[in-house]
Structure 1
Amino acid sequence: MAAPSLALLYPGDRAARERSDPAEGRFAALFEAFAEADVAAQPAIYDDDFADEVAAQLRRVDGVLVWHNPIEAGRRRDRLDALLREVADAGVFVSAHPDAILKLGTKDVLVDVSDLPFGSDAVRVDSLAELADDLPQRLQGGARVLKQWRGHSGIGVWRVEQVKASPLLKVRHAQRGSDEELLSLRELLLRLAPYFEPRHGAHMIDQAWQPRLVDGMVRAYLVQDRVAGFGHQAVNALYPAPAGQLAPAPGPRLYHPADLPQFQALKALLETEWVTLLRERVGLARAELPMLWDCDFMHGEEPGSHVLCEINVSSVSPFPPSAIPLLVGAVKARLSA
């Protein structure tokens, strides 16, 4: 019986595609692990400029794992998503499938799960006028975080807080290198207007600020419904600035295996309850869960509680080395079924 064939798709230019060197870049260890497991893995370097060429390549393999952000080099992934749907319909296993990304990997999921044990106060805002009407009242209850529908790397995520005894707002963008600013509501609305355009999803999500963000962010890496490792970032993009000082730069994310003692309670909750609750709420069967995805959690105000910040599905990289054996085993089992 022939070894199952697999493509690892990730963005690159024509020169990178011509080389198609598995040892070049961030997935070298993963290619090695697939080879050791007798899975014939090959690079599928992607760009819209040679999308048809990539599509022909994907039709010749049994499956494809995809790493591609919602926006790469200023381009949305619409052409790629259409391509992936086409090859999936032709019988190629695709992970993450674009439909699964839309159910899990946008900020809409925060509203979908707001009443679940890991949810929080989160609402959908469908227009600038609605934001102008409702945000001032919500700010009376504390700071809010406004998030564009779909993005990455903190782009389009804004912390907003009312200045005491002032009409001004303290505003900070989560994109790396951003500083806190004082803006009027009108100025804030002008900043956020592009996110309400159809090409950006035509809406935003408004989530309550979580004060315990100062205790760090925990990222749980999953292979389907099993926790494969953790990442912990003590200082993240919206870490508050000490009085009279600039906010500290985000620190590194430290990677840990799934058996790290301090996160065993979270691991148990995810594997026995939360992933099932999540997928049932958004309408995904277990078999439709991504092969590799992650959930970012903030510490909740109740001891031992966690609040979902976002789910990453489109391009989960880097990831803990501990995720590789579980990922390789799950992919091989799926391709061999």
Structure 2
Amino acid sequence: MRSKVVFFEVQGGNDKGADGFRKDTMPMVNALKERGVDAEVIFYDKAREEEIYNYVSLNGIAYVSRINPGNLKEEQSYFQMLRRLCEDGVIGMPHPDAMIGYGSKDVLVKLKTTTLVPDDTFAYYDMENFRQQFPKSLAYGERVLKQNRGSTGEGIWRVQLVEALEGQDEAPLDAQIKCTEAKDNHVEYWQLGEFIDYCEQYIAGENGMIVDMRFLPRIKEGEIRLFMLRDKPFYVVHKKPAETEDAFSATLFSGAEYRYDTPEQWSNLVESFLSQLPEVRSLLGNYDLPLIWTADFILDTNEALEDEYILGEMNCSCVGFTSQLELAYDVAEEIIAAIKENTLTV
């Protein structure tokens, strides 16, 4: 009889503790065991994939993925193994296609029909489309380009014209642009056409894409991250960029300051987001909500001069909570609840 909750990790990497595991994995394993649920960690290895699949298919009631697929050379193989497990009735936390849907940068384009994302948000999967559309986007104001891969702000660029255009609806390729990378807020000056060519590295290869969205000046007031356990917000991280002229990055590496708030302190945002979760879930494939995930928002001002919150991105591949390990008990409760819910519907 299946009874184990299996946590998938990979060996190595700078996110591991002295015991070789992610620092927030064993607290979850131990919290489950304290509640009478058998749990263990398995290190994914392409060479042992069939052995791992057979073992989990036979013994696992659910899996929890603690791997950033972008760091796996065998990303597609790992996803396919997870799909096979889900087809066998193992409860996916998350399902691999939910991991892709919620975690990819083009989630913003998929959610353009909601009030969470401006309708002038675009995704580019090939250079031809990028060359055609981006000069038009830029003609109407500052933009932010986000690559699908990378982390800590790498490949996320704020792009602005050095000189404003006069009555043109498309920026010329020889226009001078100022580009600020979120990784460390450093500034580079380019000709637009050359910068477009430079960005080909973000589109090339498997899962390559660029998302193009409006720059929101109120990012200077801070990015607001909702930390979610399935449909429950547990805390809010307010990430304020460094107080320098060009800074817009909300990463710790770039000098941003973090503050941890309760969901009640952001009740308007939380209530608005939760009310739209059913639509979000439907638009992203109607999979179960991820076990641990985040949604990042930036303040904007609408036509009525009221505050509104714009979704910047979501993450669900391997969201950590190493600074608040006591949450492991809440995660364990959510895993048990998800197992009961899925068992009742079978």
Q: Are residue 251 (structure 1) and residue 256 (structure 2) matched?
A: yes
Aligned-partner SS, 2:273: helix
| 8 Å CA contact retained: 2:148, 2:207 | yes
Match of 2:283 in 1: 281
Question: Is the CA contact 1:219–1:232 (under 8 Å) kept in the aligned structure 2?
Answer: yes
**Conservation of the 8 A alpha-carbon contact between 1:13 and 1:46:** no
Shift of 1:77: 1.5
The match for 1:306 among 309, 319, 322 is 309
How far the C-alpha of 1:64 sits from its partner, in A, is: 0.7
Mean alpha-carbon deviation: is it higher for 23-32 or for 288-297? Answer: 23-32
Structure 2 residue corresponding to 1:231, chosen from 237, 262, 277: 237
Question: 1:70 offset after TM fit, Å?
Answer: 3.1
Alignment of 1:1-337 (within 5 A): 4-13=3-12, 25-59=23-57, 60-72=59-71, 75=73, 77-120=75-118, 121-164=120-163, 167-174=175-182, 176-177=183-184, 179-201=186-208, 203-235=209-241, 241=246, 249-258=254-263, 261-271=264-274, 273-285=275-287, 288-302=288-302, 303-318=306-321, 320-321=324-325, 323-336=327-340, 337=343
State the Cα distance separating 1:240 from its structure 2 match.
Answer: 5.3
Counterparts of 2:150 and 2:21 in 1: how far apart (Å)?
A: 29
Q: 1:170 to 1:22 in 2, by over 3 A?
A: closer
TM-score of the pair, normalised by structure 1: 0.83
The alignment-based identity, stated in percent, is 22
C-alpha change, 1:25 and 1:6, in structure 2 (3 Å) is same
Instruction: Provide closer, same or farther for how the CA distance between residues 170 and 23 of structure 1 changes in structure 2, counting only shifts above 3 A.
Output: closer
Question: Unpaired segments of 5 or more residues in structure 2?
Answer: 165-173, 248-252
Once the two structures are TM-superposed, the CA of residue 155 in structure 1 deviates from its matched residue by 3.4
The answer as to whether partners of 1:213 and 1:239 remain within 8 angstroms in 2 is no
Runs of 4+ in 1 over 4 A off after TM superposition: 19-24, 319-323
Q: How many residues align structurally?
A: 320
Alpha-carbon RMSD: 3.1
Between 1:188-197 and 1:91-100, the stretch displaced more is: 188-197
In the alignment, is the contact (CA less than 8 A) between 1:13 and 1:47 conserved in 2? no
How much has 1:122 moved relative to structure 2?
0.5
In structure 2, what is the Cα distance between the partners aligned to 1:217 and 1:5? 38
Tell me, in whole angstroms, the C-alpha distance in 1 between the residues paired with 2:140 and 2:74: 36
Tell me the CA shift for residue 96 of structure 1. Answer: 1.1
Shift of 1:51: 3.2
CA–CA separation in structure 1 for the residues paired with 2:131 and 2:244: 26
Q: Is the 8 A contact 1:10 1:46 kept in 2?
A: yes
Q: TM-score when scaled to structure 2?
A: 0.81
CA contact (8 A) 1:148 1:200 kept: no
Aligned to 2:307, the other structure's residue is in SS state coil
Residues of 2 paired with 1:317 and 1:196: CA distance?
27
Amino acid corresponding to residue 249 of structure 1 in structure 2: S
Question: Greater shift after overlay, 23-32 or 123-132?
Answer: 23-32
SS at structure 2 position matched to 1:199 = coil
**Structure 2: distance between partners of 1:109 and 1:89:** 24
Deviations 1:161-214 (A, max 9, x none): 11126821111333x34621001122212221123324133x422111111111
Distance 1:91-1:240 versus aligned 2 partners, 3 A rule: farther
CA positional deviation for 1:262: 2.0
Q: How far apart in 2 are the matches of 1:65 and 1:167?
A: 48
Q: CA 1:232–1:65 in 2, change beyond 3 Å: closer, same or farther?
A: same
Structure 1: stretches of 5+ with no match in the other structure = 243-247
8 Å CA contact 1:4, 1:335 repeated in 2: no
Q: Indicate the residue corresponding to 1:245 in structure 2.
A: none
